[in-house]
Copies of this chain bind each other. A is one copy, B any other.
Amino acid sequence: MSQFKFDILKQHESTKARLGLIHTPHGTIQTPNFIFCGTKAAIKGLNPQQMKECKTQFILANTYHLMLQPGADLVEKMGGLHKFMGWDGPLLTDSGGFQIFSLGHGSVAEEIKGRRNSSRPKTMLKITEEGAKFKSYLDGAIHLLTPEKSIETQRKLGADIILVLDECTPFHADKNYTARSMRLSHRWADRSMQEFKRHDNGKQSLYGIIQGGVYPDLRQESAEFTNSLDFFGQAIGGSLGGTKEQMYEVVDMSFTYLRRDRPTHLLGIGGLKDIWEGVAMGVDTFDCVHPTRIARHGHALIRSADTDHINIKNARFKEDANPIDEKCGCYTCQNFSRAYLNHLMKAQELLLIQLLTMHNVYFMNQLMEDVRTSLENDTFLETKANWFS
């Protein structure tokens, strides 16, 4: 018997935004919400207790990294990912596909977001009907990831919500390639679901992923396919175009075809503006490495019409006795000045990463709370319009 349930508490009148609850065996997620990236079974710089103190409800880990180190068998032996990483709240794992194709093509992550190619060595060897063959980034060993293997690995890891294996097509793929790739992903999704059902004990739930690149007819075909399978939730994947505008178009278009009774996740997107736009289009959950990654470069998220962050290294903070954000309730803003953080940056002190990550995580969770409160109070559009000013 499944321990999962999705409740839609309230539908916004003039947009697709909605308030909801995703119930999992490890607790309930209030939606809209944000999922933080604990790639290798750890948030870079914060422990699980700190994540909770920063109001985090949902964390993800990456199957690709964990299957290579320490391996899914070891994690299973240690009692599963929740116990292994000391996080007792809701957890999601991806299929492992994204990183294979990303490292493989050398650029999927960049391309999906419309950035130029990176110069990483390509480790993707071959995509066949069976699965994706790739070289480990750690030791060069050759692995084959099939839909069955991905689900088996995710079952051993034991996250609450898991994803089907899909092929991530690069942005420059033409319509023919995108269509062929999408149909392969559909067959893989079918196999993922079959493998999932073979062992389903109600403790995990499976999300489908809608493909189709920037092409409306393909998005429709993929949505209809995804709608027809017995998924608990769904994610919007595939190429989202080369610009923010195109990304919003693709996401919006996808929602015209996707069923609305399932929680819907937008893969890898989580800019501050993207959150408000995405929620308005119907997105329930987001994930992005941005908040934690920029912290490691000395950047702190702020509310501003001009920029989403300040760089704490900037000389103008040297004697600034104010916190990053006067209204922020996080430990960092309650206790430390910009001058102190600027000093830590110059002194290359490790503590800086912890303090900035804490602020950025709290900031995102506060943003999501603001989104939910505005839906609750019927002030979503006004709050969306004014939040940055």
Interface residues of A (CB under 8 A from B): 40-49, 65, 69-70, 74, 77-79, 84-86, 318-319, 321, 331, 335-337, 339-340, 342-344, 346-347, 349-351, 353-355
Contact = CB atoms under 8 A, between A and B. Distances in A.
Contact of A69 (B43, B86, B347, B355): B347
**Copies of this chain, whole number:** 2
Given A41-B343, A74-B318, 6 more contacts: A42-B347, A42-B350, A47-B351, A69-B346, A78-B319, A79-B321
13 contacts: A40-B344, A40-B349, A42-B344, A42-B349, A45-B350, A47-B355, A65-B347, A70-B342, A77-B321, A78-B340, A84-B337, A86-B335, A354-B354
Contacts of A321: 77-79
A327 B281 CA distance: 52
Contacts of A49: 331, 335
A73 to B, nearest CB: 10
Contacts of A85: 340
A74 to B, nearest CB: 6
Contacts of A48: 335
Given A40-B347, A77-B319, A354 B45 contact: yes
A354 B47 contact: yes
4 A-B pairs with least C-beta separation: A86-B335, A40-B347, A42-B351, A70-B343
Given A347-B65, A347-B69, A350-B353, A339 B45 contact: no
A349 B44 contact: yes
A347 B38 CA distance: 12
B350 A74 contact: no
Given A74-B318, A74-B339, A78-B339, A45 B346 contact: no
A18 to B, nearest CB: 35
Given A47-B355, A331-B49, A70 B339 contact: yes
Given A70-B346, A347-B69, A337 B40 contact: no
A104 B253 CA distance: 68
Given A337-B78, A343-B69, A47 B349 contact: no
Contacts of A337: 78, 84
Contacts of A40: 343-344, 347, 349
Contact of A44 (B69, B319, B340, B351): B351
A138 to B, nearest CB: 9
A211 to B, nearest CB: 31
A65 to B, nearest CB: 7
A351 B319 contact: no
Contacts of A42: 344, 347, 349-351
A42 to B, nearest CB: 4
A318 B44 CA distance: 21
Nearest to A87: B335
B74 A319 contact: yes
Contact of A331 (B45, B47, B354): B47
A46 B358 CA distance: 12
Contacts of A349: 40, 42, 44
A110 to B, nearest CB: 23
Nearest to A351: B42
A317 to B, nearest CB: 11
Contact of A70 (B45, B318, B336, B354): B318
A46 B47 CA distance: 11
Contacts of A339: 70, 74, 78, 84
A340 B70 CA distance: 9
A319 B84 CA distance: 11
